[in-house]
Amino acid sequence: AGVRGALVGGVDASSNVGISHALGIDPKGTHAHSMVQAFGALGAGEIGAFRAYAEIYPDDCLLLVDTVNTLESGIPNAITVFEELRAKGHRPVGIRLDSGDLAHLALQAALAMNWAGFTDTTIVLSNQLDEMVIWQILSQIRTEAPKLGLEPTDVVNRLVFGVGTALITSQGAPALDGVYKLTAVKDGTEWKPAIKISETPGKTINPGTKNIWRLYDKREKATCDVLAMEDERLDQAAEIHLHHPVDFQIQRTLHREDLSRIERLNIDLPQSGPASPLADTLDTMRSRREHDLACLDDGVKRLVNPHLYHISLTRSLWDLKQKLVRERCKGAGK
């Protein structure tokens, strides 16, 4: 599920052979450090490992250069093997850096490979990457490349980022503390709204059977999502009164003429069959994800200090919530 989610989210490929096979895509990767170690332990050295790999994969030759010493051994040995491949009419793919100061090493690798005439070989970076580390690496390359006579964009365009742990685990939020809550009870044919009051206002539930809507402003950007009672048709309202879910002071009114589009987000899900979004292909899901992301303002997508995207309640829902809380508090102790 993690690999599938990453592919929908925008990665190009996975190094997991089994899952890639199951999903019908080509896995991507390099040989392991242990291959270089094994050749080293048996006396053939790093260059022996690189040659053996190049012999088997002459047209897919991506070499991991940090087993011994990246600058003094890995990159020179890789270039030697690349020259041997080129002499036989093959086109080497590139190198992978998996430790150390990745931006610095990528620039040194680009310099060395350019000098040997390999001006478009790929430079794969890996080692505990996440979005912040990648941001830092790109920033460092943009600063340092010109000092070495390199065009930053040329270097950046050669980079491939191999992200592992931070993508396939929930490192920043290890537990999703979601709870199913009762919001309504069917009494005969009628749904009766239910409430649970919490000392933490954000945990007091939003009662009743509801829909959720997304409102788009005139720029076609999503401006907020709105929880509404099931019988409210926000797409037919001339104006929409919004309430913050817990802070009674925060309210605003949106007018239909300021909105480009109103979309109901919850859909009735058939259990199976081609009509179900669960049956969509990876490509379809990826396109939908790209479109949804494009509808978000850049401000809410910033890595640091982003704007908060608002989830609001309609006035009807807010009023029902107040009413139920008041009734329940009145009834307490009886």
90 binds its own copies (CB under 8 A): no
DSSP 214: E
Q: Which is nearer to its own copies, 37 or 251 (CB)?
A: 37
152 binds its own copies (CB under 8 A): no
- x/- mask, its own copies, residues 211-240, rule CB under 8 A, reads ------------------------------
Q: Which is nearer to its own copies, 143 or 165 (CB)?
A: 165
175 binds its own copies (CB under 8 A): yes
Edge-first strand listing for the sheet containing 159-162: 62-64, 94-97, 122-126, 159-162
200 binds its own copies (CB under 8 A): yes
76 binds its own copies (CB under 8 A): yes
213 closest CA partner among 204, 223, 205:
223
Q: Which is nearer to its own copies, 198 or 249 (CB)?
A: 198
194 binds its own copies (CB under 8 A): yes
Edge-first strand listing for the sheet containing 259-264: 251-255, 239-243, 310-314, 222-229, 210-217, 259-264
129 binds its own copies (CB under 8 A): no
**Residues contacting its own copies: total by CB under 8 A:** 50
33 binds its own copies (CB under 8 A): yes
The string of DSSP codes covering 104-159 is HHHHHHHHHHHHTT--S-EEEEESS--HHHHHHHHHHHHHHGGGGT--HHHHHHHE
24 binds its own copies (CB under 8 A): no
209 binds its own copies (CB under 8 A): no
Q: Residue 115 contacts by C-beta under 8 Å, 6 or more apart in sequence?
A: none
Q: Which is nearer to its own copies, 292 or 327 (CB)?
A: 327
Q: How many CB atoms lie within 10 A of CB 137?
A: 20
* 105, 177, 179, 210, 237 from 232: Cα distances, Å: 59, 30, 26, 9, 9
Can you tell me which of 4, 15, 19, 45 binds its own copies, judged by CB under 8 A? 45
3-state secondary structure of 287: helix
Distance CA 324, CA 192 (A): 11
From the CB of 298, what's the least distance to its own copies, in Å? 29
Residues that bind its own copies (CB under 8 A): 32-34, 36-38, 40-42, 45, 47, 67-69, 72-73, 76, 99-100, 128, 165-166, 169-171, 174-175, 177, 180-182, 184-185, 187, 192-200, 203, 328-329, 331-334
